[in-house]
Structures are given as structure tokens and as C-alpha cells.
Structure 1
Amino acid sequence: MSAVRRSRAAVACLAATAALALTLGAAGCSTVGGGPDAAEGDAGPTTLTVYAAASLQEPFEDLGEQFEADHEGVDVEFSFAGSSTLVGQIQQGAPADVFASANTSNMDKLVDADLQAADPVEFTTNTLMIAVPAGNPAHVTDLASLTGDEINLVVCAPEVPCGAAAEAVERAAGVDFSPVSEEQSVTDVLNKVSSGEADAGLVYVTDVKKAGDGVEGIAFPESDSAVNTYPITTVKGSAQPELGQEFVDLVTGESGQQMLGGYGFGEPDTGGA
């Protein structure tokens, strides 16, 4: 009899355990099924998407961190590339909230397509500099020295702001470049120089500064003839128009200007509108 009692007790125990498991499982399923708590848990952070010229990457990433710290639950996602590439993507429907261009002509493309949500604001400037690998193995000295057949010169493509600036200084200096390649962003030019793939490249002063010991910079007077002015605006149809404007305000405000200045960018020519 004692064995039977133990058997019955074991069965009862197993049944109770199974019932408890089913109860807990049902409770778990009801939570996943979409109650109020589950709905709140499933809600992810708000994303602010910023399209910005490649030369702005470092200061904008810092400003993005500052923006996130000031806006709980907001993630700032950047897309850095040549300004012509970015404005083309926006024209094709890419979901950008903010667009910052490295020159006014690519911003004009956005405005001509009626894709701006506010008047663009000029917020900083940049100028070109010759970048050479550390040690300057090709002994580059000025713009004229970039025209030699033995020099592997890399520049940005003409449709990219740094490429348009390169053409402007080429005309100002009265020289004729024969680059071995034309890149779609200033970052690509800098990478070819720092890796030693190119003897020289025309990049922004800010790019030489951020490259550190990887490259050396050579200034030239004709750079004054091609100062790039950077405008920024919110994009029409943005999913986050208010946050987008707040990011623009951060960039154009005192904090943003100090950040940009720390990376070697200049003040905007007109101070604003």
C-alpha cells in the first residue's frame, strides 16, 4: 500500500507540475501577445536620419552623440558620402530628415527639386590643401608640381564639391592637372594618399588635420579662390521634422560652431541665412 501511495503521490505531483507549467506558459504567451506592457516594450527608439558630406563625419558624429544625450530615446543615424551622391539619393526618395552639403550647388539641387523643408542655412566653410603621404616621397611643393607626368595625382570628381573646388584652383593657378583617378568623396582621395597609392591629392584642410601623421599638408595661395561654403536644411516629408530642426539648430548654434572650429572648419561667410 505504501508503494501505491507513493505512486499516486508522484502522479499527483507530476500533474500539479504540468498544470503549473501550462499556467505559466499561458501567462507568458498572453504577455507576448500584445498587452499594454508588451506594446511599450516593443516600441524602439526614435531615429533621426542625417545625410551629410563626408568631410563632416567627425564633428557630426560628436554632435550626434551630444544630441542623443540631450534627447532620451533618440538615435541619430548618419549617411556620409559625396554631396552629389547624397542629394541624388534624396531625390530618389531616400528617407532623410536633414541634409548638410559641402557646397551650395548641391544644396541648390535639393531646393530646385522642392525637397527642402526650410531655407538652407550656411553654417561653415572649408578650403583645399595638397595632401601627400608622410615624408612627401614625390617632393611635391605646390600646384605646379602636381602637373608632372611622374606624379600620381588623385582628386575628387567634378560633380563632388571638393572636385569643383579643385577645378577652380586649377584655373586660378593656370595649370592643367592629369589625375590618375577621380573619386566620389574627399575621404576616398585621402585614403589613397595615406595608403601611398597616390603621390598627392587635393583634399580639405580639415581632412589633413584629422589624418594626423598619416599625411602631410601643403598650403597654396590659390585655395582662397575656392572656399567651400556648407549649407544645411531639413528635408521635406521628414518623419521627424521637429527633431530635424533641432539638429540644424545645434549645428548652427554656439555648441556646433565650436565643435566645427575644433576640427579646422571656418566660420560661414554670411553668418547665417
Structure 2
Amino acid sequence: MRARAPLGLAVALVLALAACGSGGGNPAPRRTVTVLAAASLTEVFGRLEQRFEAEHPGVDVKISYGGSSDLAQQIVNGAPADVFAAANTSTMDTVARAGLAGQPRVFATNELRIAVPADNPKNIGSLADLAKDGVVLVVCAPQVPCGAATQKVATAAGVRLRPASEEPDVKSVLGKVVAGEADAGLVYVTDVHARGDRVRGVAFPEAAGARNDYPITVPSGAPEAELGRQFVELVRGQVGREALTAAGFQVP
């Protein structure tokens, strides 16, 4: 007759085997950093997202791009965000007035360019050319930072623009120029840089009077505030500065 193991030892073995087979070695749940960012930051933040995830195993960076005014309103309305990067200070002020802005810091500046198709069929060379008959112009809506800057430069130059459409963000403006639906669009230097194979950028002196400061913050009540602060540090640090400069931004 075969001897039996003591009951206590048998129970211990069963529990040990169960632990090994059921999750003792399972990876920890992934954490998510939610970033709301101005559409003009798409290319740069896409690269920084990859860098951050590589340096933080188990962390996903989820970025929602759009018009800064819309993103600010989402935060005011209760949307969770660990980082908010806006394309001008006035949209950040919207979040600040609601007591949700944290401590914003300006990390980049940008200015307008006229985007035209690569062959520039309407021979646009100045802001005044956008007001000529037959020129199909698209701009950002006035509540969006690029739209506010457009209004500012037009007023300063005494040029009355008659856009065919007002778009919700700068990427939508650029898309219409790239698709051949517009002869010109007012976008940022960085947007022209990103699509330099499809469009040409026309500089104009009035743009210098409407440069946009880009502030970034960890909103109050951020679900992953510490990870949000680390992402902000990446953006404002040497790696972020180099990525921003390469994309055509100026950094403080």
C-alpha cells in the first residue's frame, strides 16, 4: 500500500501550483495617459508619444487632437485629461477660469503661413493676394487659435478676407489645400513643414505680429497626474525641444 503525503503538505502543494498557473506571473494592468493637444502638434506629439511609451513600459499614451477651443471646453465639461497642450494662451485661460488649468507653461511658439498648392496656380505672394477675385481661400474658424491669428493679421494689414469656408482646426484647412479644394489656406509654419511635398508656404510680414504661444499643463484632477507631469517634462525637456525645433516651432 502506497504511503500518503500528510494532508497539510498536500494542501500546500495544491495552493502553490494554483498560484503558479493563475496569475502569479501575469503582467500588471497597463496605465493610460490621456493627452488633449492642438491639431498643429500632431506630428511632434506623435513622435513624443512613441518615446514616452518606450521609456515607460506598461503605459499607453492616448492623444486626442483638435481645435484648442473645443478641447478646452471638453475639459471644462468634465472630460478626463492628464495633459492639455493648447495653441494659444486664451484657450488655456478658458480652463483656468474653471479652476482646472494646473500650472501652464509656454513650451513653443508658432506663426502663420499661407499654404498654396505646390505649383501655386494663382501666383499668391502676399496676404493681400488672398482677397483677389477668383481666389478660393479657407481659414480656421475665429474661435480656434489659428482663426484668431488670421483675424488679427488681416485687421493689422487692412485686408478684407472672404473665405470660402471656416474650418474647425488647422489640419482641416491644410487638407483642403492639399486636396485641391482651395487655392490657399492660412495655416502654421509647422503645417507647411509637415506637408512640404504637397504644398508651398508663402511667408508674409504681418504674421510676426500674431505669433501664438503654446502653453501646456496637467489639468487639476488629472487621473494620472504623475504620468502627466512626466509627459510634460518630456515635451519641455531637451528631447521635446529638439523635436519641436525640427518641426518648425520656435522654443523659449
- Would the TM-score normalized by the shorter structure come out above 0.5? yes
Q: 1:35 to 1:113 in 2, by over 3 A?
A: farther
Please say if 1:202 is aligned against 2:186: yes
Shift of 1:41: 3.9
Residues 1:235 and 1:37: Cα distance change in structure 2 (over 3 Å): farther
2:38 paired residue among 39, 47, 53: 53
The equivalent of 1:10 in structure 2 is none
CA distance in 2, matches of 1:195, 1:138: 16
1:188 aligned to which of 172, 177, 186: 172
One-letter amino acid of the counterpart of residue 51, structure 2: Q
RMSD of aligned alpha carbons = 1.9
Q: Deviations over 1:89-123 (max 9, x none)?
A: 1111111110000000000001011112x310000
Q: Deviations over 1:31-64 (max 9, x none)?
A: 7xx9994487485310000000000011111111
Match of 1:154 among 135, 138, 154: 138
**Mean CA deviation greater in 220-229 or 133-142:** 133-142
| Distance change in 2, residues 1:220/1:237 (3 Å) | same
> Secondary structure at 1:69's aligned position in 2?
helix
Counterpart residue type for residue 70 of structure 2 = T
Give the aligned residue type for 2:38: A
Runs of 4+ in 1 over 2 A off after TM superposition: 34-44
In the alignment, is residue 261 of structure 1 matched against residue 245 of structure 2? yes
Q: Secondary structure at the match of 1:213?
A: coil
Partner of 2:52: 67
Q: Which runs of 5+ in 2 are unaligned?
A: 1-13
Looking at structure 1, the residues matched to 24 and 75 of structure 2 have their Cα atoms a distance apart, in angstroms, of: 32
Query: In structure 2, which of residues 65, 73, 90 is the aligned counterpart of residue 88 of structure 1?
Result: 73
2:105 is aligned with 1:121: yes
Larger radius of gyration: 1
**Which runs of 5 or more residues in structure 1 are unaligned?**
1-26, 269-273
- Residue 233 of structure 2 is aligned to residue 227 of structure 1: no
**Alpha-carbon distance, 1:130 to partner:** 0.3
Q: What percentage of residue pairs aligned between the two structures are identical?
A: 53
Tell me the alpha carbon deviations over residues 153-208 of structure 1, each in whole angstroms, 9 at most, x when there is no partner.
00000100000000111011111000010001000000000111000000000000
Larger helix percent: 1
CA distance in 2, matches of 1:206, 1:81: 15
Alpha-carbon distance in structure 1 between the residues aligned to 2:201 and 2:29:
44
2:11 maps to what in 1? none
Which of 220, 228, 231 is equivalent to 1:236?
Answer: 220
* Structure 2: distance between partners of 1:107 and 1:40: 44
Question: Given the superposition, is the C-alpha separation of residues 175 and 72 from structure 1 closer, same or farther in structure 2, using an over 3 Å criterion?
Answer: same
Amino acid at match of 1:120: P
- Aligned residue pair count: 237
